[in-house]
Amino acid sequence: MCMENLRKRKVEQAFIEHYGNQPIIWVQAPGRVDLMGSHTDYNEGFVLTEAIERNTWIAARPRQDAVVRVSSQNIEGGAEFSLAVISYDEVSPWSNYIRGVAHILQIEGYSLNGFDGLIHSTIPFRSGLSSSAALEVATAMLFKTLGDLDISKLDIAIYCQRAENEFVGMECGILDQYSSAMGKEGNVLLLDCRSTTSEVVPLAPGLMVMICDTKAERELTGSEYSERRADCEKGAKALQTAFPEIKTLRDVTIDQFEAQRNNLSEVVAKRSQFVIEENQRVIDMATALEVGNFQAIGSLAKASFIGARDLYEISSPEMEAMMAAMSSAPGVIGARQAGAGFGGCMVAIIDGQKTVEFSKYVIEQYQQVTGIMAEVYQASASSGAGVLKF
Ligand code: GLA
């Protein structure tokens, strides 16, 4: 039996045990990994991103009342709420991604159907692969399917980002939700976060994307993410006084930045420099990946990591150990951080013939230095969210 059927059987079994009946609708939404463009999304910049094969499923059955009942095979606890009164859940915080999406869709005037749902995810939590966005996007896809709602996938991405910003309280950009909703099988996307449009970037033949999970949990409960975001806003605002056409750091050229650098505080200058340079690296990386310019892929990825470590300060000792392991591994072409940083997963672009040697080497080297058993796997670009048909 193939993995997908086995997974389906297990989830179906658990659903019947939990709710006493068969699920009749199945939806999925994938995680994502970024190949270039850390923290550029909330600066209205560019990101190279792909949806990955690891995803979140919701098996569901519509209800006749306006109640949502959910439980998860990955996390303890469940939640039940009425669509008429949606409040923040302190007991099962993961259910806030579902509540938040319902809340925003209702504000937008959609009439929602209640359901019993069971969640099953293969995306590791807090590893920087967007497990929360996948849950949000799967939830929106489920409401769309249950109520036959006229919502585009782009709207799903935008509403899910709002759910996270306005209901969950995390000021993320559009990257995660866009990738999960709009991913394209076999293709990397060059996402423009200002216009929320993307172009497909075909990877040169023979390249493989590898995810290298440091297994050092990303702890973004602190204020690091919002501090970075606020510093970028300060940078853009200060630069605006000299160049009124600037709206966000996306609009700033490196020459403009250099001319004004001394008018920025040291921290704001470092953060701004990283974002301005990273944005340019996204554009350059798109070309390098398409034409298979290995030298450029390697140097752009390395510069991205150095900037993330020294200017944006989102690295960690485990990430440095992983970077060293990836960079010296057989078959490596380029290696860098992924997601928000502060631990979690990193990403490498390698020679597709060397996946086994690469993985073995990285795991061994990383373990020698950190004592931690990393996980390394291929990340083929997958389709965005959809209804599962068996
Ligand atoms: C997190 C956020 C995204 C993005 C990345 C960093 O994943 O959710 O919006 O800012 O960090 O690029």
pLDDT in tens, 225-246: 999 999 999 999 999 999 999 9
Residue closest by Cα to atom 9 of ligand 1: 173
**At 173, is the pLDDT very low, low, confident or very high (cuts 50, 70, 90)?**
very high
For the CA of 47, the closest atom of ligand 1 is 12
| CA distances from residue 91 to 79, 95, 96, 140, 335 in whole angstroms, order as listed | 9, 9, 10, 22, 39
How confident is the model at residue 77, as a pLDDT? 82
Q: Which residue's CA lies nearest to atom 5 of ligand 1?
A: 340
Distance 13 CA to ligand 1 centre (A): 35
Q: State if residue 176 touches ligand 1 by the CB under 6 angstroms criterion.
A: yes
- Domains defined along the chain, listed by start: 3-201 (3.30.230.10), 207-378 (3.30.70.890)
Banded pLDDT at 56 (limits 50, 70, 90): very high
Most distant CA pair in the chain, distance: 67
Cβ–ligand 1 distance for 143 under 6 Å, the answer: no
Ligand 1 contact via 38 beta carbon (within 6 Å) = yes
- Answer yes or no: is the C-beta of 175 below 6 A from any ligand 1 atom: yes
What is the pLDDT averaged over residues 293-300? 98
User: Which of 34, 36, 38, 41 has the most ligand 1 atoms within 8 A of CB, as the residue to mutate?
Assistant: 41
CA neighbor of 144 nearest in space, from 108, 96, 195:
108
Q: Is a pLDDT exceeding 60 seen at residue 221?
A: no
Give the pLDDT score at 2: 85
Q: Which of 36, 42, 225 to mutate to test the pocket of ligand 1 (most atoms within 8 A of CB)?
A: 42
Confidence at 220, pLDDT banded by 50, 70, 90 = low
Cα–Cα distance list, 97 to 87, 93, 116, 267 (Å): 12, 8, 16, 33
CB atoms within 10 A of CB 171: 14
- Please indicate whether residue 284 is annotated as part of the active site: no
The answer to whether 54 and 135 have CB atoms below 8 angstroms apart is no
CA distance 389 to 258: 54
Atom of ligand 1 nearest to the CA of 37: 12
DSSP of 208-243, one letter per residue?
EEEEEE--------SSHHHHHHHHHHHHHHHHHHH-
> Is the pLDDT reported for residue 115 higher than 80?
yes
pLDDT at 72: 96
For range 170-174, the mean pLDDT? 96
Is it the case that residue 222 has pLDDT exceeding 70?
A: no
Give pLDDT, residue 390: 87
Q: Which of 176, 213, 231, 251 is catalytic?
A: 176
Name the DSSP class of 361. H
Write down the pLDDT at residue 157: 98
Does the C-beta of 46 come closer than 6 Å to ligand 1? Answer: no
Q: How many residues does the chain have?
A: 390
287 CA → ligand 1 middle, Å: 23
316 touches ligand 1 (CB under 6 Å):
no
User: 242 vs 67, 155, 258, 277, 370, CA distance in Å?
Assistant: 54, 36, 12, 19, 47
pLDDT in the model for residue 76: 83
Cα–Cα distance between 240 and 235 in angstroms, integer? Answer: 9
Q: Distance between CA 178 and CA 156 in Å, rounded? A: 8
Mean pLDDT of all residues in the chain?
A: 96
What is the position in ligand 1's atom list of the atom closest to the CA of 172?
A: 9
- In this prediction the pTM is 0.97
